[in-house]
């Protein structure tokens, strides 16, 4: 993990005490509780979950350069014709797959990450579903951070895996933000790292119990804040400074809150009979 707090017994707990992070955690918790308490959730939660998945996939694809209108994502069935369509298709597949991997994540996060990349790439090439090796290129044009070499990637992935397997009392937001940020900084696969990182964030938020019904799509919020803000916050995480890491975690927290706002609007529309 790229942070000055890494020498602490539980670095995730330490990150949760950085300035501004406790407030972000509290704000996210209150927002999530509000949408879960909405009267529509008692009767139509499956519809909210399905709509949140679609909107989350659209947001994740937008951050990977395929900024399609929601209705275009909803109506399309062919996602194999060109790069933007492939990105949207990959995002949709990952969102569907994430819920199937919750039980494996805590025991074998590296296996889950490999599976996510395999699902995203939908390819049989021998570079798919495994971390990149020395000299292998990375296709991730929207992330401009220096690219760690294969040895650093392997070491940091193992460290991240051990943190997840060991478990932590850190808030779910902190763990999700670190998983997301670390995967973006490392770009361990030859392609679709952003989509995989955001799917992994989704898995943490759902599996932690913060968002068990998957109705708070952080991907929506990341997209709404814009690619420039996303990249700037990631730069802060990669810097390893307490201020930079805290800014990334609070950025992720705001993204969850915006996802909550999106699903709250869906609840309201269903309540009015308009959706």
Q: Tokens 């696969």 correspond to what residue?
A: 189
Q: How far apart are CA 67 and CA 242, in angstroms?
A: 32
Average pLDDT over residues 248-263: 98
2 band by pLDDT with thresholds 50, 70 and 90: very low
Q: What percent of the chain has pLDDT over 70?
A: 96
CA distance 109 to 91: 19
Predicted pLDDT at 266:
96
Share of the chain above pLDDT 90, in %: 87
18, 63, 104, 234 from 229: Cα distances, Å = 20, 11, 32, 8
pLDDT at 3 over 70: no
Residue 34: pLDDT band with limits 50, 70, 90: very high
Q: Across all residues in the chain, what is the average pLDDT? A: 94
Report the C-alpha gap between 120 and 113 in whole angstroms. 11
Q: Is the pLDDT of residue 190 over 50?
A: yes
Give the separation between CA 8 and CA 33, rounded to whole angstroms: 31
pLDDT of residue 59: 98
More confident residue, 140 or 117: 117
- Nearest one of 158, 198, 178 to 57, comparing CA atoms: 198
Cα separation of 221 and 254, whole Å? Answer: 7
Mean pLDDT over residues 119-136, rounded? 92
pLDDT of amino acid 124: 74
Least Cα distance to 161 among 203, 229, 107, 119 occurs for 107
Report the distance separating Cα 218 and Cα 199, nearest Å: 10
Tokens of 42: 């008692």
pLDDT of residue 198: 98
- Report the distance separating Cα 243 and Cα 239, nearest Å: 9
- Amino acid 92: pLDDT: 96
**What mean pLDDT is predicted for residues 166-170?**
94
Instruction: Report d(CA 86, CA 79) in Å as an integer.
Output: 5
Q: Would you state the pLDDT for residue 69?
A: 96
Q: What is the pLDDT of residues 36-94, one digit of tens each?
A: 999 999 899 999 999 999 999 999 999 999 999 999 999 988 887 789 999 999 999 99
pLDDT per position as a tens digit, 141-163: 789 999 999 999 999 999 999 99
Model confidence at 7, pLDDT cuts 50, 70, 90, reads: very low
Q: What is the C-alpha separation between 270 and 51, in angstroms, rounded?
A: 11
User: Residue 17: is it exposed, middle or buried by C-beta count within 10 angstroms (0-12/13-18/19+)?
Assistant: middle
Q: Which residue has the higher pLDDT, 241 or 1?
A: 241
For residue 1, the model assigns a pLDDT of: 56
Does 271 have pLDDT greater than 80? Answer: yes
């Amino acid at each position: 993990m790229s942070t000055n707090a890494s020498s602490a017994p539980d670095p995730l707990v330490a990150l949760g005490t950085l300035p501004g992070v406790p407030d972000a955690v509290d704000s996210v918790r209150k927002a999530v509780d509000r949408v879960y308490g909405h009267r529509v959730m008692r009767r139509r939660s499956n519809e909210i979950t399905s709509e949140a998945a679609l909107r989350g996939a659209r947001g994740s694809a937008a951050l990977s350069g395929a900024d399609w209108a929601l209705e275009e994502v909803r109506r399309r069935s062919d996602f194999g014709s060109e790069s933007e369509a492939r990105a949207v298709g990959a995002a949709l597949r990952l969102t569907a797959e994430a819920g199937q991997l919750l039980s494996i994540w805590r025991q074998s996060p590296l296996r889950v990450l490999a599976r996510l990349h395999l699902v995203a790439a939908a390819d049989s090439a021998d570079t798919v579903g495994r971390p990149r090796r020395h000299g292998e290129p990375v296709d991730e044009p929207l992330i401009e951070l220096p690219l760690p070499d294969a040895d650093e990637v392997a070491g940091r992935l193992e460290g991240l895996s051990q943190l997840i397997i060991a478990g932590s009392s850190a808030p779910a937001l902190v763990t999700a933000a670190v998983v997301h940020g670390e995967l973006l900084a490392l770009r361990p696969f030859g392609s679709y790292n952003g989509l995989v990182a955001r799917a992994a964030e989704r898995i943490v938020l759902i599996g932690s119990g913060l968002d068990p019904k998957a109705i708070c799509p952080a991907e929506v919020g990341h997209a709404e804040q814009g690619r420039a803000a996303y990249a700037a916050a990631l730069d802060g995480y990669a810097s390893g400074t307490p201020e930079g890491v805290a800014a990334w975690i609070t950025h992720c927290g705001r993204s969850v809150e915006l996802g909550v706002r999106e699903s709250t609007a869906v609840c309201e529309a269903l309540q009015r009979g308009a959706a």
